[in-house]
Chains A and B, each alone.
Chain A
Amino acid sequence: MADSPVPDALRIEAVHKAFGSFVALQSIDLSIIPGEMVCFVGPSGCGKTTLLRIIAGLETQTSGRVIQNGRDVSMAPPAARDYGIVFQSYALFPNLTIAANVGYGLVNRRRPRGETTARVKELLELVGLPDAGPKYPGQLSGGQQQRIALARALATAPSLLLLDEPLSALDAKVRERLRGEIRALQQRLKVTTVMVTHDQEEALSMSDRVVVMRHGAIEQVGTPQDVYERPATPFVADFLGKVSVLKGESVGGGRFAVGTAELDLNVDGFNAGDKVRIFLRPEDRHIEGDIAAMPNRLRGLVRHIEYLGTVCLATVDCAALGQTMLVSMSLNQLHDLHIREGGDLDFALRIDRVRVFAESAVR
């Protein structure tokens, strides 16, 4: 990326932020290429919102630089930067009509009135609310208001779009639909976008790259597939999706002793006797086919089944491991394989995505 002739849309260099003695951001480095959608995700207090606000110029970093399209904007006030922003609260002006809200930033540019009107119309169509113009924000639903906020942010055609938890205030259904709409719009306009969210599903489903943050530092940056399938740290593995963590010990040769069982995980980098934690997702297993012929076979007692709709999650006590695991299955598999609470379940581990961390690396 550094060699690319096109400058990064946004480059963050060693950005550090302290509020008194509290360190909100340790030292953040990050590059975002033009047209990319990047999500900052992490638990509350991880610094993701602070980082977004520093990019927006709403907070000032204690040290470090923010460079936008090759221009150093580190010390520029918000108005001197080029971005549109959408907040969780929508922040639509309640006393102005939708059209006036969307055109708010255009009016100030002293463009001919006709041009502004046409642009507002175009934007309202863009977000799928062509008739909302004369209404007031209060007359729209939350999802509609958020789309108007998006239209307002895009009105001045900024080179960067910032989304601060844009979907958190919405119902689950609306949230899911808007996810797709925002992503489609972003891809169509090819506008560089940074979104902050605490919802890992949202981050995985919407972004080109995910930035997982914790304690004011970046834990991992990567494509959704990267961070989900190859989490770099135990925290990332745990934060993005469900995991079962097994206590074990390396016996060398990529093999690990867990309870009375010995698992062949084909993972290098450990010496015999190293204490480890093995991170497995609920889907990292085979429950159909010729299980008896597979390596890493296990048998467990199904203690509890949690119905989540199309997917079900079984809590399984594995005597051999001396530990409990989560095993996911489709509703069809549940019925076809006659899996029930109190019954036994034979399964084999899928080891292609399994992650093993040294015990000392796990908090």
Chain B
Amino acid sequence: MTAVGSGLADARGAVTRVRVTGAILRENMATHGGLWLLGVGLFVFLTLPLATLLIRSLEDKAGVFIGLANFVQYVQTPALARSTGNTLVFAVLTTLLTVPPAFAFAYAIQRSCIPAKGLWRSIALIPILAPSLLAALSFIYLFGNQGALKFMLGWVGVGTIYGLPGMVLAMSFAAFPHAVMILLAGLALSDARLYEAADALGTSTWRRFITITLPGAKYGLISAAMVVFTMGVSEFGVPKVIGGNYPVLAIDIYKQVIGQQNFQMGAVVGLVLLLPAVVAFIVDHQVRRKQKALLTARSVPYAPRPSKRRDRLALAYVLLVSAAMLIVMGMAVFGSVVKFWPYNLSLTLAHYTYGFEEANVQHAYRNSLVLAAWCAVLGAAITFTGAYWVEKTRGANWLRPLIRFQAMLPMAVPGLVLGIGYILYFNNPSNPLHFLYGTMTILVICTVIHFYSSSHLTAVTALNQMDGEFESVSASLKVPFYKTFWRVTVPVCLPTALDIGRYFFVNAMTTISAVVFLYSPKTTLAAISILQLDEAGAIGSAAAMASLIMVTSAIVTVITLAAEGMLLRRTQRWRSVART
């Protein structure tokens, strides 16, 4: 250290006392104001609609409180009771058909030495880019009334693909990537030292699997099962397209609300639907907490060593799954560009042009793009700043748990239930927000809320990885927090923010469940128009729309990933070391 220059002494005298009082007031207003804004926003657009759902379920058509009479009526309606049983059967079978193959797939990726793991992983995740009913359309192409492989149904004793078999099959494809992602993460967390200890004790491969691998992956398995189960319970698109005469709650709810305008019964069915979802959410939440505690900071990640037999088996399995994935996803795309499957296979774009016009859904795709773009930008901005307000500011401490709870709530609420809550809440003419009803704005708000929880969690994780003292240091340097937010927090977290935007975009493109109650003829969305096209018998155009959504999502995903990669490379100089 060199001698102190005289400048330092001068500077101490010269630096003027910054007039801080005004700045502090502004800062307090900005932090507390932000928290309040977020809390009130979530309250108005999430809690109140759900509360409305609850209240309306206890009222009659005239709005008079009648206690549990609606629920009694529900239980006594045989059709609804039957739907409840059907829904459970559908969800359980889907879980059983999805989780074990997904586990095998994740195991093959994480615990073997097969080549091109990234490729297989990407292929397995393709269904996320498309609406869940794309698989249903493919199965109709393959095994439907004009299906090319319909004859195969007889081999397994199934008369028709419409109904439970088709629903479970299609749903398994849609849910597969979600299960795979959870299980990949679950299997990534493993302690190599346990395996080394087992090897040192001469443990057989099978016993190692039973005593170390399975218990280690237990929480991932439970978590995946819960997620798939919840998806199944609240799925709307797949049963609608391929459900045939197998009624489930999601369809009932739609018929009650949209078909019969029976909002009370819709609310009741919504609450019934909420029950298993909430239970699954709580189980999942508990399990994830335990998983966090499972691994210590000193754990050594497990790296598989080559084993010819295992690797060949793993590769064969992964190839099989990838092929099935590509065939099912590709079938819909192929079906959308041929004249008349399976009789006339000459290529055409007619399903994309005349088909859309004929059904009057040519604006649906553009609407979806608008919705997705708004959701991506607003969703990322709101969830990220929201998470920042909650995690990194000081004061108003009683407000934070309320906001955290509301931020996690959407994860436990199926989209359909949220949608009914919205329709009950917003179509009430005495609600000052009634003017939003039927607009694009309400679709944006609903979609952002619908996918809030995951994004919030992602943002919180990224923020908590940053040094917790940045804000304190800034305050000591009299730099207002928003300057540090802009100069440091946002640049450091930009890749995460981009990823949240992508998540919102893809989900806004593919979602049906909540928005199906809220769209107006002017704001029809691409994913919803698939249902309309399918109902009109235009399966080629339905497949075309589904393909269009998938391709759009894929392009946006690739662009975002490329941007993230570029960003990471450009900031490599400071990032590379920050990671060590």
Contact = CB atoms under 8 A, between A and B. Distances in A.
Q: Do A and B bind each other?
A: yes
Contact of A189 (B8, B479, B484, B573): B8
Given A79-B20, A104-B479, A109-B18, A189 B577 contact: no
Interface string A122-143: 1001111010000011110000
A85 B11 CA distance: 18
B470 interface: yes
B480 A79 contact: yes
Interface in A166-196: 181, 184-185, 188-189
A198 interface: no
Contact of B7 (A83, A105, A119): A119
B473 interface: yes
A99 to B, nearest CB: 13
A89 B20 CA distance: 27
Interface string B442-483: 000000000000000000000000011110111111111001
Interface residues of A, number: 47
B430 interface: no
B280 to A, nearest CB: 33
Interface string B273-299: 000000000000000000000000000
Contacts of A138: 573-578, 580
Given A85-B476, A104-B477, A188 B4 contact: yes
B558 interface: no
A227 to B, nearest CB: 28
Interface stretch (B23-31, B116-124, B149-157, B413-421): B23-31
A178 to B, nearest CB: 11
Given A95-B492, A127-B1, A153 B476 contact: yes
A94 B8 contact: no
Given A96-B488, A128-B2, A77 B477 contact: no
Contacts of B571: 95
Given A105-B479, A126-B1, A126-B8, A80 B24 contact: yes
Interface in A194-251: none
A205 to B, nearest CB: 18
A56 interface: yes
Interface in A10-57: 56-57
Nearest to B23: A79
A279 interface: no
Most buried by B among A79, A122, A139: A79
Most buried by B among A56, A94, A125: A94
Contacts of A155: 477
Contacts of A157: 8, 11-12, 15
A157 B488 CA distance: 23
Given A104-B477, A122-B7, A56 B472 contact: yes
B476 A84 contact: yes
A156 interface: yes
Contacts of B204: none
A27 to B, nearest CB: 24
Contacts of B576: 138
A141 B27 CA distance: 34
B350 to A, nearest CB: 52
- Say what secondary structure dominates the interface of chain B: helix
A126 B473 contact: no
A320 interface: no
Given A56-B476, A157-B12, A91 B1 contact: no
A69 B212 CA distance: 62
Contacts of A281: none
A136 B12 contact: no
A355 interface: no
Contacts of A181: 1
Contacts of B394: 58
Contact of B477 (A89, A96, A108, A128): A108
A65 interface: no
A104 B21 CA distance: 20
15 contacts: A56-B476, A57-B475, A79-B27, A80-B21, A85-B473, A93-B487, A94-B492, A94-B575, A105-B479, A109-B16, A122-B5, A125-B2, A136-B574, A138-B574, A162-B476
Given A80-B20, A130-B2, A136-B577, 18 more contacts: A56-B472, A85-B472, A89-B468, A93-B484, A93-B487, A94-B575, A95-B488, A108-B18, A108-B483, A125-B1, A126-B1, A126-B5, A138-B576, A156-B478, A157-B11, A157-B12, A158-B476, A162-B476
Interface of B: 1-5, 7-8, 11-12, 15-16, 18, 20-21, 23-24, 27-28, 394, 467-470, 472-480, 483-484, 487-488, 491-492, 571, 573-578, 580
The 6 closest A-B pairs by CB, nearest first: A138-B577, A105-B477, A78-B475, A157-B12, A136-B574, A91-B469
Interface of A: 56-58, 77-81, 83-85, 87, 89-91, 93-96, 104-105, 108-109, 118-119, 122, 125-128, 130, 136-139, 152-153, 155-158, 162, 181, 184-185, 188-189
